[in-house]
Structure 1
Amino acid sequence: MRYSLAVGLVALMVASSLTSASASAGARCRDVDAPVTVLGHREVVHGSLCTPAAGAATVQVLIPGATYNSSYWDFPDGKHSFRAAQNAAGFATFAVDRLGTGGSSRPPAVTLTAFVQADAMHQVVQGLRSGAYGPRFSRVVIGGHSLGAAISAVEAGTYKDVDGVLLTGMTHRVNPTGVAAAFANFRPANLDTKFGVLFPLGYLTTAPGTRYDSFHAPGRLVPDVMALEESTKDVFAPTEAVDGLGVAVLLPYSLLINVPVMTAVGSHDAAVCGPLATNCSTSETLHAAEAPYFRSPLRAYALPDYGHSINLAPNARDYYSAVSSWVREEVDR
């Protein structure tokens, strides 16, 4: 009861600050339910489309990682909004809930793969270009975090319909120990009180109290952020990770991408960094490690002293700025 009350009070206190932040950035946001057809079934991809008041020619499609939804890109504490930073830099954003999460359709978990999610994102990209959701955009950047990055790589490599690709929390040499430790913290969503016993079978979420160790360590632990992490956590289907990891990362599918790419990770990301994985200690070492996996121009950024979920790092604004500079210099020209 006390924990739930604390989360509620935190959410109430930050709501006004988030509204103010959106207003100061001059962005107009609205919910969109984008119709898509996957595996012969009509589904809906829900997201928030935010456009600077002056308009924008470029939109960033933002795909969250496993057990996250669109709130990862616009975190409800008023301090960690990748979305607001990109809007302030002059770019539109469409932060989506992957199929199975948030306000999107929830197909049977076993039917969801990274390629199915990429198919849905391809249809979203076409809708943004055609003006199906309101504004018409001439340039589209697809970006994702972790599993969302794998989906972005599959979409860009398969459909070749975007102008830039942002990959965060993903490299091509993973740390098996770190990945195994993260997977050990996953539980069936219907055994978690947040989702309840009637939640569809097959989806996984994180066990209560494990998100700091899985996604943020060894970064500074901020209790308010962790409380909101727990209240906004979501689910994923294991089948998304199978081809997401096996194809997008290990194959590597990224060699099919034909547009500029930016990769960004935390320098201490236990899932992808380490002596037996990727050298993420600096942006230069990250670039050297990842360059062989891309034929297109690559920019790399290592956020110092943080783990996997870099959008929520205390120094995340440095990374937000690095991304907007890359879009401006490599895509929006």
Structure 2
Amino acid sequence: MKFWRHQDEARSATGRLLWGFALAVLLLVAAVHGGLVLAWLSLSWLLGGDWPFPAGFAAVNIGMTLFLVLGGWWVETDQLRAGGLRLAERIGAREVRTERNLAEQTFANVVQELSVAAQMRAPTAMVLPRTDAINAFAAGWDEDDAIVAVTQGALDHLNREELQGMVAHELSHLHEGDTRLKMQLAGMVYGLELVYQLGESMCERGGLMWWFGWVIKAAGFAGWLAGRWLKAAVSRQREYLADARAVQWTRSKDGLGGVLRKVMGQRQAAGYDVRGSQYALGHHAVQHMLLVDVQGSSHWAERLATHPALADRVQRIYGRPMPPLSL
């Protein structure tokens, strides 16, 4: 795997997508104001008058939209600032018990070793004990509250080399600030959604409120959808970057590659229920942080998926398609 080239490509694509996110917010502000201008002019024409715009019409429209977007972003990110340890505990994770469990001791050792290789402070090692699916996630606003959590399925089915690949991938997210970036983007998408919700509430009141509400609702929905798509696209690029960094740090394609191929095998196993086996990972706050996602395979789910397809990630690592591995 040409990990340096893949890292550069992922960083460049992320930069372009973040500029696109900023453009989407500006276009939303313009769409709300422009739509309300047209709605005002149309209403004036229908009622046979020549109504002047109210004082501060543009300032109110622009200010209201920015207030909702930035206010929603602040509220959502403030909730996420609770910390990685708290978030992990909320979905049922606990700290490793190295004195009782050899697999957990190995995992804790791998976290310490790779943290030294990455020249970063070791995050808290945690386990999701009742989750059979192979998965992991990293969380934390900064190094003081950073955690890396793996599922019981990862401890049961991965060898040490594969565990190193998994941990290296998650440490890359912390090292590159991906967890903070994803939290920020999630907050911004929530702010875009608030514009849609305002329009919807105005439509429900009827009368003249409906006339202006549907404009805000339509612009808000378009902005929210664009924000979701851009957030997912950024997340997919950060997954590519973390995959390349994991191969760089471990100098092994079979580490992370073996993990992803075993996930493919686990999901293809007869009678295996992916969603049912990792219910804890369905929490909205961690879905975008996982090693592999738990989304469905519908057309829209793929468009808005926060992770690339497993087969695509495996092919990037090995340079060719590879079959799943049995557990």
TM-score band by shorter chain is under 0.3
Point out the structure with the larger strand share.
Answer: 1
TM-score, normalised via structure 2 length: 0.25
Point out the structure with the larger helix share.
Answer: 2
Relative contact order (alpha carbons < 8 A, sep ≥ 6): 1 or 2 greater? 2
TM-score, normalised via structure 1 length: 0.24
